[in-house]
Amino acid sequence: MKRTLVTTFVTAAALALAASAALAQRDLTVVSWGGAYQDGQKEVYFKPFNAAGTKLVDESWDGGLGVLRTKIKGGNNTWDVVQVEADELEVGCDEGLYEKLDAARIGGAARYLPGTLHACGVGAIIYNLVLAYDGDKLKTAPAGWADFFDAKKIPGKRSIRNGAKWNLEIALIADGVPAADVYKVLATPAGVDRAFARLDSIKPDLVFWKSGAQPPQMLAAGDVVMTTAYNGRITAANEKDKKNFKMVWKDTPYTMDSWVIMKGTPNKANAEKLLEFMGRAENQAKLPKYVRYGVTAAAAAPLVDKSLNAELPTNPEILKQAFAENPKFWIDNGDKLAERWTKWAGTK
């Protein structure tokens, strides 16, 4: 009896090993955020790179450091190049989930805008969390976050991302804190209380979104009169579905996603080749046509079609109204604030 069990066990383990060995030989796998955005990346980066001779497959994911940690520490990583958010870049780099990046092998540091190159990653896109509304439905146009947080001036439901990040910032701005001081105020317990108090003032009118595809859909369905949203999604809804959604850029947070190479990948050389290819200004300049996000090669901006500039986060006119998200603040305070957010969002 006992021996049979052991034999079965060993056979199963051997099969599992054989299966994982078969997986080790795989094509370069690049992982991004899916949707219209990844469709654009396919046209601009993935297909031409494939055509140039290196086989590449693309997958999509929804983010989350836990996912990457499982892949690396579980020892069955199937991804090579992944697009991550700012805090995932920072923490994952500290945890040793990514390869260290050699700038010389991806086109040299001078090619990229200052601040877009990190020890473990290189900037992919720059985007804003904007205030969006349907220009055809809303009679009073909101001028900024103060109006978003004013249920008397503009009645109706409004939606925000379900999470503390960015919502506490805009609540403070609505409460009169200058965008430049937001993180200073938020670093104090009184500042956090102030942000939650401001959120309380419109709580009965709040609806939460989880994925970036939801806000334009909620606007289109009439479920909300205003929402926070990623700027590219709003432009895409206007262009694809012929909507008349408007965006307010004043005092909106902007942030950058980066490409990283997963630790220990057998495709490291090809991964670097892909990053070099995606870092070329002439390639990056084509992306905003598909999705209106800013790119990171210094020489790309002049090559971008001028007609797209009005809704491009890297447009200097927009950049000077916006403020940079502070990933360090969220790395340190995210856990505690997430608890408080959950409690707050879960009580009527």
- Please report, as ranges, the residues that interact with another protein according to CB under 8 A: 1, 4-5, 8-9, 12-13, 62-67, 69, 91, 94-96, 157, 162, 206-208, 210, 221-223, 328, 331-336, 338-340, 342-348
In the complex, the smallest distance separating the C-beta of residue 245 from another protein, rounded to whole angstroms, is: 16
65 vs 146 by CB, closer to another protein: 65
SS3 194: helix
In the complex, the smallest distance separating the C-beta of residue 303 from another protein, rounded to whole angstroms, is: 36
In the complex, the smallest distance separating the C-beta of residue 282 from another protein, rounded to whole angstroms, is: 36
162/341 Cα distance (integer angstroms)? 9
In the complex, the smallest distance separating the C-beta of residue 172 from another protein, rounded to whole angstroms, is: 18
Strand pairing report for 28-32 and 56-60? parallel
Contacts of 137 (CB under 8 A, 6+ apart): 222, 225
20 vs 143 by CB, closer to another protein: 20
98 beta partners: 262
Tell which phi-psi region holds residue 332, choosing left (phi > 0), alpha (psi between -120 and 50) or beta: alpha
32/84 Cα distance (integer angstroms)? 8
Burial 186-216 (b: 16+ CB within 10 A, else e): beeeebbebbbebbeebeebbeebeebbbbb
132/250 Cα distance (integer angstroms)? 12
Structure tokens at 96: 């040793």
Strand pairing report for 253-261 and 81-84? antiparallel
Q: With contact defined as beta carbons under 8 Å apart, do 83 and 40 qualify?
A: no
66 vs 176 by CB, closer to another protein: 66
53 vs 66 by CB, closer to another protein: 66
263 vs 292 by CB, closer to another protein: 263
In the complex, the smallest distance separating the C-beta of residue 10 from another protein, rounded to whole angstroms, is: 10
132 vs 297 by CB, closer to another protein: 132
Q: Where are the alpha helices (H) located in 166-230, listed in sequence order? A: 167-174, 182-186, 189-200, 214-221
DSSP category for residue 347: -
In the complex, the smallest distance separating the C-beta of residue 2 from another protein, rounded to whole angstroms, is: 10
176 vs 189 by CB, closer to another protein: 189
116 CB burial (10 A radius; 0-12, 13-18, 19+): buried
138 vs 319 by CB, closer to another protein: 138
In the complex, the smallest distance separating the C-beta of residue 6 from another protein, rounded to whole angstroms, is: 9
323 beta partners: 253
In the complex, the smallest distance separating the C-beta of residue 70 from another protein, rounded to whole angstroms, is: 8
